[in-house]
Amino acid sequence: MKPIPLTHVWQYTDVDRAFWDERLADWLPERIIDAHVHVLNPALCLEPMTDEKRRQHWVAEVAEPLEAEVLCRCDRVVFPGRDVSHVAFGWPDPAFDVEAANEYARRESLQRGWHALALLRPQWSAERVAAELDKPGVIGVKPYYAMIGSDLKTRDRYIEAGIFEFLPHHALEVLNDRRAWVTLHVPKADRLGHPDNLREIREIRRRYPDVVLMIAHFGRCYTESHAREGLLPLADDAGIYFDNSAVLNPVVHRIALETFGPGRIIYGTDNPVLYMRGRRQWHDRTYVNRTNVDFHFNTDRESPEIEAGYTLYMYEALAAICQACEQAGIGRDGVEAIFAGNAQRLIDSVGPDR
Percent of the chain with pLDDT over 90: 90
Residues 118-174 have pLDDT tens digits of: 999 999 999 999 999 999 999 999 999 999 987 767 778 889 999 999 999 999 999
**Buried-exposed string 198-237: b where 16+ CB fall within 10 A, e elsewhere:** bebbeebeeebeebbbbbbbbbbbbbbbbbbbbbebbeee
pLDDT attached to residue 306: 97
Backbone angles phi and psi of 328, in degrees to 5: -90, 0
Q: What is the pLDDT of residue 313?
A: 98
Question: pLDDT band at residue 49, thresholds of 50, 70 and 90?
Answer: confident
Q: pLDDT digits over 193-218, tens only?
A: 999 999 999 999 999 999 999 999 99
What's the predicted TM-score (pTM) here?
Answer: 0.96
pLDDT digits (tens, 9 = 90+) for 281-340: 999 999 999 999 999 999 989 999 999 999 999 999 999 999 999 999 999 999 999 999
For a pLDDT cut of 70, what percent of the chain falls above it? 99
Region of 178 (left: φ > 0; alpha: ψ -120 to 50; beta: rest) is: alpha
- Residue 297 to residue 169: CA distance in whole angstroms: 37
**Domain 4-347 carries which CATH code?**
3.20.20.140
Q: What is the band of 351 on the pLDDT scale with cuts at 50, 70, 90?
A: low
Provide the residue ranges of all domains of the chain, joining segments of one domain with +: 4-347
Mean of per-residue pLDDT scores for the chain: 95
Q: Each residue of 20-37: pLDDT tens digit?
A: 999 999 999 999 999 999
Q: Which are the contacts of 21, defined by CB distance < 8 A and separation ≥ 6?
A: none
* pLDDT attached to residue 154: 73
Taken in order 287, 268, 93, 140, is the CA torsion positive or negative?
Answer: negative
Residue 47 has pLDDT above 90, yes or no: no
